[in-house]
A and B are shown apart, each in its own frame.
Chain A
Amino acid sequence: MSAAESALASPSPPGTPWWRRVLAFVTEANVAVVTLLAVVGGLVVGALLIIVTTPATLHAWGAVGRAPGAAFATSFSTVGNAYGALFAGSVISPSALGHALTTGRGWTGVFTPISETLVSATPLILAGTGVAIGFSTGVFNIGGQGQLIAGALAATYVGFGVSLPLVPHLVLVVLAGAAGGALAGFIPGILKARTGAHEVIVTIMLNYIFLDLLAYLLTTHPLQQPGQSNSISQTIPMTARLPHLFGSTLRVNLGLLIALAVAAAASWFMRKSTLGFEFTVIGANPSAGRTAGMDARRATIAVLTISGALVGLAGMSTVSGTDFFLSSGYGGAVGFNAITVALLGRNRPLGVVLGSLLFAALSTGGRYMQAVASIPIDLTTVIQAVIVFMVATPALVREIFRLREAGAGKILLFTKGWGG
Chain B
Amino acid sequence: MRLELAGITKRFGDLVANDGIDLSVEEGEIHCLLGENGAGKTTLMNVLFGLLHADGGEIRIDGEPVRFSDPGDAVRRGIGMVHQHFMLVPVFSVAENVVLGFEPVRRLGFLDRRRARAEIRRLSAEFGLAVDPDALVEHLPVGAQQRVEILKALIRDAKVLILDEPTAVLTPQETEALFTIMRSLVAAGRSILFITHKLKEVLAVADRITVVRLGRVVGHTTPAETDEDQLAAMMVGRSVELVVHKEPARPGEAVLEIAGLRVVDDRGVTVVDDVSLDVRAGEIVAVAGVQGNGQTELAEAVTGMRAVAAGTIRVGGRDLSHATPRRAIEAGVANVPEDRQSDGLVLSLSIADNLVLNQYDRAPYARHGARRLARVRADGERKLAEFDIRAPSAAVAVGTLSGGNQQKVVVARELSRPVKLLVCSQPTRGLDVGSIEYVHRRIVAERDRGAAVLLVSSELDEVLALGDRVAVMYRGRIAGVVDPSVGRDRIGLLMAGIDAVAPPPGGAKGESP
Contacts and interface: CB of A to CB of B under 8 A. Distances in A.
> A contacts B directly in the complex (CB < 8 Å)?
yes
Interface of A: 272-275, 277-278, 280-281, 284-285, 287-295, 412
Contacts of A273: 369-371
Interface of B: 303, 305, 324-326, 328-330, 335, 337, 342-349, 353, 357-358, 360-361, 366, 369-371, 373
Given A274-B366, A277-B371, A293-B326, A285 B361 contact: no
Contacts, number: 68
B325 A274 contact: no
30 contacts: A273-B369, A273-B371, A274-B361, A274-B369, A274-B371, A277-B353, A281-B349, A284-B346, A284-B348, A285-B348, A287-B342, A288-B342, A288-B344, A288-B345, A288-B357, A289-B346, A290-B305, A290-B325, A290-B343, A291-B337, A291-B344, A291-B358, A292-B325, A292-B329, A292-B358, A293-B324, A293-B326, A294-B326, A295-B324, A295-B326
Contacts of B342: 285, 287-288
Contacts of A288: 342-346, 357
A292 B355 CA distance: 10
Contacts of B305: 290-291
Nearest to B327: A293
Contacts of A284: 346-349
A8 to B, nearest CB: 17
Given A285-B348, A290-B305, A291-B303, 16 more contacts: A272-B370, A277-B360, A277-B371, A281-B349, A281-B357, A284-B346, A285-B347, A287-B342, A288-B357, A289-B346, A291-B325, A291-B337, A292-B325, A293-B324, A293-B330, A293-B358
A270 B76 CA distance: 54
Given A274-B370, A274-B371, A291 B348 contact: no
Nearest to A268: B370
Main secondary structure of the interface of A (DSSP, over half): helix
A354 B325 CA distance: 40
Nearest to B337: A291
Nearest to B345: A288
A368 to B, nearest CB: 43
Contacts of A412: 348
Contacts of A272: 370-371, 373
A287 B369 contact: no
B346 A281 contact: yes
Contact of A278 (B325, B335, B337, B361): B361
A292 B304 CA distance: 11
Contact of A287 (B335, B343, B370): B343
Given A291-B337, A295-B326, A278 B345 contact: no
B393 to A, nearest CB: 14
A284 B345 CA distance: 10
Contacts of B324: 293, 295
Nearest to B336: A291
A294 B371 CA distance: 16
